[in-house]
Structure 1
Amino acid sequence: MTNGADRITKDLVEGAADLRVALGRLVRRLRQGYVVGEATLSESSVLSRLDRDGPATPGYLAEQERVKPQAIGATLAGLVDRGLVARRPDAADGRRVLMSVTEAGRKLLTDRRSLNTQRVARALADGFDAEERRRLLEVIPLLERLADEL
């Protein structure tokens, strides 16, 4: 089994660098539009993961989000304080805690009135034609897989 190094070409390295720069710009622009009370990018990621994958331990979430346990603890504490995530003992192992998204958390995830979501939708509508929008939306699962691989 190879480690993939033999498949890394100059073009692939250049493309990876371009992707990193483009995504970095996108994330910075999204952060600039942050409104107090709205979920941060970290909070949105954790909420989405809990909604998609179901209840999980803080350790599992830290591993999946590629952050330290202390960082996930702070993120989860903020989400619990706002009623977006609930903690409960694991029925299979009472020593563990499971985190799950609440109805309020699900509402926040699906709320299409979010300022950042509206900003992105407006940019897509105003700056891209139908084919470009379709292509951008189709790549989302690939970007999620890439994030999981890093």
Structure 2
Amino acid sequence: MSEADRTEELAVELMASITVFVAAARKANPAGGLSAAEISALLRIKRAGETTSAAVARLEGISPQAMGATIAALEARSLVEREKDADDGRRILLRATDAGRELLDARRDSRTHALAHVLAERFDDDELATLGAAAPLLERLAEGL
């Protein structure tokens, strides 16, 4: 088997494993009625502190119009708020509300607890070390996509 074939095979295996992992994580921790797009946008807004709808749309790879609908849904649930930029009154800044941050924190804590439980119950020390070493590699892989 050539190097290119091995790389292609690894890519297929990784995509399958990651897909199964993400599906299991979502099933174990429902999004509280939010769509995947809404969760992703809320996460980006929370991480940024303050940002614009256009900036979030660029990061998500969707149109500003589509992001506008996502932001409107989050705002209707009081998870984000809009405010005029003090330095440029034409710009509208978004920030996560306390309720938005609390929802994300509770979701993260629940997921972290569930994952920690599975790690403790089903993996030995060597496997835990391997997973620990793989984590930054998976992040670097995601950054390259």
Q: Could you tell me the TM-score, scaled by structure 1's length?
A: 0.70
- Other structure's SS at 2:82 match: strand
* Cα pair 1:64 1:148 within 8 Å, conserved: no
Shift of the alpha carbon at 1:49? 2.1
- Pick from 54, 61, 64 the counterpart of residue 59 of structure 1: 54
Shift of the alpha carbon at 1:31? 3.4
Q: 1:29 to 1:118 in 2, by over 3 A?
A: same
- Other structure's SS at 1:83 match: coil
C-alpha separation between the residues in 2 aligned to 1:126 and 1:147? 27
Which residue does 2:10 correspond to in 1? Answer: 15
Q: 1:93 to 1:71 in 2, by over 3 A?
A: same
Please identify, of 91-100 and 139-148, the stretch whose mean Cα deviation from structure 2 is larger: 139-148
Which residue does 1:28 correspond to in 2? Answer: 23
Q: 1:93 to 1:107 in 2, by over 3 A?
A: same
Which residue does 2:91 correspond to in 1? Answer: 96
- Pick from 43, 50, 53 the counterpart of residue 48 of structure 1: 43
* Percent sequence identity over aligned pairs: 41
More helix per residue: 2
Which residue does 1:80 correspond to in 2? Answer: 75
C-alpha separation between the residues in 2 aligned to 1:130 and 1:40? 36
Superposed CA deviations along residues 1-45 of structure 1, whole A, max 9, x for unmatched, are: xxxxxxx93333222222111111222223334547355443333
**Cα-Cα RMSD:** 3.0
Q: Could you tell me the TM-score, scaled by structure 2's length?
A: 0.72
**Structure 1: stretches of 5+ with no match in the other structure:** 1-7
- Other structure's SS at 1:9 match: helix
- Other structure's SS at 1:93 match: coil
Superposed CA deviations along residues 50-89 of structure 1, whole A, max 9, x for unmatched, are: 2322211111111112233343233322221222211112
Q: 1:54 to 1:24 in 2, by over 3 A?
A: same
